[in-house]
Structure formats: structure tokens, C-alpha cells
Structure 1
């Protein structure tokens, strides 16, 4: 990432769950913010994970999703079931988009077919790399 993009990314770090719970070792990270590592990145989407608390962060355009480890894998399993051609609708601009509803009834996310395939691919690759890091760290 370019330094300006990295600065913007650093600005939005969330309070680290491990630090808030008093589980992090003193001096491992400078404050109570997550110390993230990028697991996978494309032009549209970045997936990172906190090295302390394990929280996943998914950045896609102007959307930021945060998931604990279990929820991240459940989310990935859930979205892999979506078939674009079966769930997409035509928007007023004439482009078909897949609608994915959020936990908040008033908020839905819309993805073009290209965006949808991209986000599924990035999340899958990020999950594989997160599993590799977990194996190396010796955690399940």
C-alpha cells in the first residue's frame, strides 16, 4: 500500500479486543488499537486481521465490515451460497446487482457481478491465509 493509503488505513483501526480485555502483553502494540496485518488485497477490497484479538476487517469501497473470527467464517460460508444470477436485480441505472441484507433491516449492500466475484475470492484467500497464520501460531 502507498504510505498515504496506509496512513488512512491506520487511522480507522478499532480498539483491540485483546487490549480491552487485558489479554495483550505490555508493549506489543502502542495503544489499545488493533495491530492488523493484510491477508488479501485487490483494487476494490482489502481484508486484514488483528494479530492480537483476531478480529477481521473487510474494506470494500466505502463499506467496512468487522467480524470476530467465528463470525467471519460464518459470513464467508453464507455468501458462498449466493448465486449472482439468482439473486441480482436490475437497478435504475440498468445494471444488475446482487443485494445482500445486513443485520440492520434498513441497510443493504449492492454488488455488481464483478464486485461480487471479487469479494468472494478475496475473502476465500484471506481465510486460507488466516488459517496458515493460526497454524503457525499454534492456535485452532
Structure 2
């Protein structure tokens, strides 16, 4: 098991990384995503290039949500505006904290 250092806490979301292998973990509810450091940067860039109002769609629960597709065609993630903003803030904070720990 990795020795995980938390980089960001926002609501139910936690982002951490292994102090040894540098794998980045994003936990939200019952979902756990694993990223290499480079993949996490690419994920961040993908989030940064999407504005909620330009990419959101109405869902059956009467909420506007943005969809993020994954490499697995059968799995996509959806986020309400509040969840989207939380995700983007957490990822940004995690990237900054990675830089801080790299300097230490």
C-alpha cells in the first residue's frame, strides 16, 4: 500500500499522492481514480479547457451537468456546477502542493 500524503481536501473530495511512487489518487464518494504525475497534469489541463456553461447538459434529475469521458468507453463522470467548481479547485490546489513538496 502506498504512503499517501493528502494534497487537497474540498468537500467530499480528497486528492493525495504516494510519497514514494508519486501516484496521484483522487477520491470522491465511492470513486477512486489513480493517475501518474503526467496524467494528472493532463487531467488538470482538460478541466482547465472546459467551462461549465459551455459544456453542460440537462440531465433527467433536472440538474445541469458536465460530462468527462474516461479512456474506458463505458465509464463517464458527470458533475453539477458546484461539483465541477470543487473538482477544479481541488485539482489546482493539489498541483500547487505537489510543487511545494518537490521544493522541500
Normalised by the length of structure 2, the TM-score is 0.96
**Gaps spanning 5+ residues in structure 1: where?**
1-32
Equivalence for 1:35 = 3
Secondary structure of 1:126's aligned partner: helix
Aligned residue number for residue 53 of structure 2: 85
Higher strand share: 2
2:65 to 97, 101, 104: 97
Distance 2:42 2:67 in 1: 18
Larger Rg: 1
Does structure 1 retain, via aligned residues, the 8 Å contact 2:5–2:16? yes
CA drift at 1:39:
0.7
C-alpha separation between the residues in 2 aligned to 1:94 and 1:52?
44
Q: Which residue of 2 aligns with 1:71?
A: 39
- 3-state SS of 2:21 partner: coil
Larger relative contact order, structure 1 or 2 (CA cutoff 8 Å, min sep 6): 2
Tell me whether 1:106 sits opposite 2:74 in the alignment: yes
CA deviation profile, 1:18-61 (whole Å, cap 9, x unmatched): xxxxxxxxxxxxxxx10001011022210001000000000122
* Aligned match of 1:118: 86
Instruction: Report the CA distance between 1:62 and its aligned residue.
Output: 2.2
Question: Structure 1 segments of 4 or more deviating over 3 A?
Answer: none
Aligned CA-pair RMSD: 0.8
Alignment of 1:58 with 2:26, yes or no, is yes
